[in-house]
A and B are shown apart, each in its own frame.
Chain A
Amino acid sequence: MSVDVVIGIGNSFRRDDGVGLAVAEEVAKRGVRDVRVVTATGEPGAILEAWSGARLAVVVDAATGEGSCPGWIRRWTPGETADLGVVSSHAIGLPQAYALGQAVEQIPGRLVVLCVDVVDTDYGVGLTPAVAAAVPAAVEAIIAELDAERGA
């Protein structure tokens, strides 16, 4: 049976950017059967490897931008936006990693991305209160995605 995967992306030394890792850590504590929980820095090769062959991949990451509301959780699936513009000069973003994975057939059966709106990505550890408060809800949202995949 193929295994589902939860991938937490982030950097715990950039405050709220660590929210994806914090959520993944909480999901791992649930010990859900046939679910792998991994963490990543966002490096595309590692992400492709983590989700390749999975039935469902749920990625949880931090997000910021215009209209951002700290602690809000947004859900994105491939195809919802055509915008594949490069957003970083250092690395490629998640949509680009997915496009790369499609080209080399290293994508999961289904991909759901949960983004938590963040406010502080400066140097340091610890989440801001609004973002920390969103962690339990993000965990439940992931569990719900996993349950839905199994028809639970």
Chain B
Amino acid sequence: MTPEIRTLSVGALTRVEGEGALHVTLTDGVVESVELNIYEPPRFFEAFLRGRAYTEPPDITARVCGICPVAYQISASNAIEDACGVTVPPELVALRRLLYCGEWIHSHALHIFLLHTPDFLGYPDGISLAKDRPDLIERGLAIKKTGNRLMEEIGGRAIHPINVRLGGFYSVPHKHDLEPLAEMLRRSLDDALDILRSVSEFDFPDVEFDHELLSLADGERYPIENGTIKRSDGPSFDVAEFSDHIVEAQVKHSTALHAALDGERFLTGPLARYSLNSAALSPIAREAAAAAGLGRVCRNPFRSILVRAVEVIYAIEESLRIIAEYEPPARPFVDVPARAGVGHGVSEAPRGLLYHRYEIGDDNLIRSATIVPPTAQNQAAIEHEMAELVAANLTSDDATLTSLCERSIRNHDPCISCSAHFLTLTIDRK
């Protein structure tokens, strides 16, 4: 008997960062394979960092992504400072955290309002949504603008900031420069709290997944610009042990590498970060999360929009705290003299843990570089979630299944440009 073949296909995934496709094969009603096909060309950043001066990776790797350049700058700086044995003083770390908060605010606002909310309210895109719900989009754009302003003030410009250097910054703001930002942040905090209330009223599919969760932890603070590595099903480990646990491998169907944690799929990003660190949120963010129906742990990827909204609230509060405590440092940076050796650096990009490793040679040049972005780490988990969702909805027609797969991918706000360093969907039903 000829097997029943069913094919679902999406040519180019929309409302994600980058270019990719999806291929699902069903044979006699059983999910045979789900492949997230990242076809954006590989970008060879790790290769062309070799032979560059040890001071260059923060600026070069910032170019990996227009949405999360600060993540690249900070993970790179952390790694090289580690190799050189330099500790950056707390007042400069606070300024890095402030800059990073700007990136979280603008990146999450973009995803929440223009990319993710249309999925819950039945709109094809953010522009159609804006015509009916200008209230949501106006506030979203205002919040995003606040994030961009923070990046301009601290980073020199909103995209690919130019003020970050090893050991700190080229220049630091005067205290009075930050006062207008504080006013914008206070208005955005009210908007963000309102938005979380609105988003919490969406209908969320009732699903949970059992991936191991991986995130940074940063003492009593919610992790952003540094930390140690924490996991849900095993002991924490040091950043230097990253490659002992997380191994990347090539797969035929993707130009991005697939990563595994001790051989198993795992998840990094807002859900993991929140689930492993919700106790470290500020009181207002924690109360807002509880009021929105979030427990201490969230394993439903559709509810990641709530977690992102909570993280926006947190990042705004953190920014206000840092600005209130800010006194300009005596020097905008500390010296980072070259030292041959290996350094490891991590930080929490909006989409999850971002790892950098550099080896510096005796000639002060980069001998080797390794960058493991969050989307590469999450690919196996994303494919697993789609396979489970398709298997649970086999009676749905192809259009419904296709839409479900696209939503499933957008739940993780994948950054394909970073990982290739996404969606045409094809579903074969055999």
Contacts and interface: CB of A to CB of B under 8 A. Distances in A.
A89 B127 contact: no
A89 B159 CA distance: 18
A104 B158 contact: no
A140 interface: no
Contacts of A49: 145
Contacts of A104: 130, 134, 137-138, 141
A103 B131 contact: yes
A106 B126 CA distance: 15
A105 B159 contact: no
A90 B134 contact: no
A90 to B, nearest CB: 7
A94 interface: no
A99 interface: yes
Contact of A103 (B14, B134, B158): B134
Contact of B145 (A45, A100, A102, A105): A45
Given A43-B159, A105-B134, A100 B127 contact: yes
B164 to A, nearest CB: 18
B191 to A, nearest CB: 13
Nearest to A92: B127
A86 interface: yes
Given A89-B14, A89-B16, A96 B145 contact: no
Contacts of B130: 99-100, 103-104
B144 interface: yes
A41 interface: yes
A49 to B, nearest CB: 7
A104 B113 CA distance: 13
Interface in A71-115: 84, 86, 89-90, 92, 96, 99-100, 102-106
B18 A90 contact: yes
Given A49-B145, A86-B14, A89-B14, A100 B137 contact: yes
A99 B129 CA distance: 11
Interface string A7-37: 0000000000000000000000000000000
Contacts of B144: 45
Contact of A96 (B17, B19, B127, B137): B127
A46 B158 contact: yes
A106 B32 CA distance: 48
Interface in B249-279: none
A100 B158 CA distance: 21
A106 B134 CA distance: 11
B19 A89 contact: yes
A89 B18 contact: yes
Interface in B99-131: 125-127, 130-131
Contacts of B84: none
Contacts of B18: 89-90
B285 to A, nearest CB: 24
Contact of A89 (B12, B125, B131, B158): B12
Given A89-B12, A100-B127, A45 B134 contact: no
Contact of B127 (A46, A99, A106): A99
A45 B417 contact: no
Interface string B4-21: 000000001110111100
Nearest to A99: B127
A49 B141 CA distance: 10
Nearest to A48: B141
A105 B135 CA distance: 11
B17 A90 contact: yes
B148 interface: yes
A41 B152 CA distance: 14
Contacts of A43: 158-159
B2 to A, nearest CB: 37
B131 A45 contact: no
A87 B427 CA distance: 25
Contacts of A45: 141, 144-145, 148
B13 A89 contact: yes
B77 to A, nearest CB: 23
Contacts of A105: 134
A86 B125 CA distance: 10
B59 to A, nearest CB: 13
Nearest to B15: A89
A103 B12 contact: no
Contacts of A46: 148, 158
A105 B134 CA distance: 9
B417 A90 contact: yes
16 contacts: A45-B144, A45-B145, A46-B148, A48-B141, A49-B145, A84-B127, A86-B14, A89-B18, A90-B66, A90-B417, A92-B127, A99-B127, A102-B131, A103-B131, A103-B134, A104-B137
Interface of A: 41, 43, 45-46, 48-49, 84, 86, 89-90, 92, 96, 99-100, 102-106
Interface of B: 12-14, 16-19, 66, 125-127, 130-131, 134, 137-138, 141, 144-145, 148, 158-159, 417
Given A89-B16, A103-B127, A104-B130, 15 more contacts: A41-B159, A43-B158, A46-B148, A49-B145, A84-B127, A86-B125, A89-B14, A96-B127, A99-B127, A99-B130, A100-B127, A100-B137, A102-B131, A103-B130, A104-B141
For the complex of A and B, the 6 pairs showing the least CB-CB separation, nearest first, are A103-B130, A103-B131, A104-B138, A104-B134, A99-B127, A100-B127
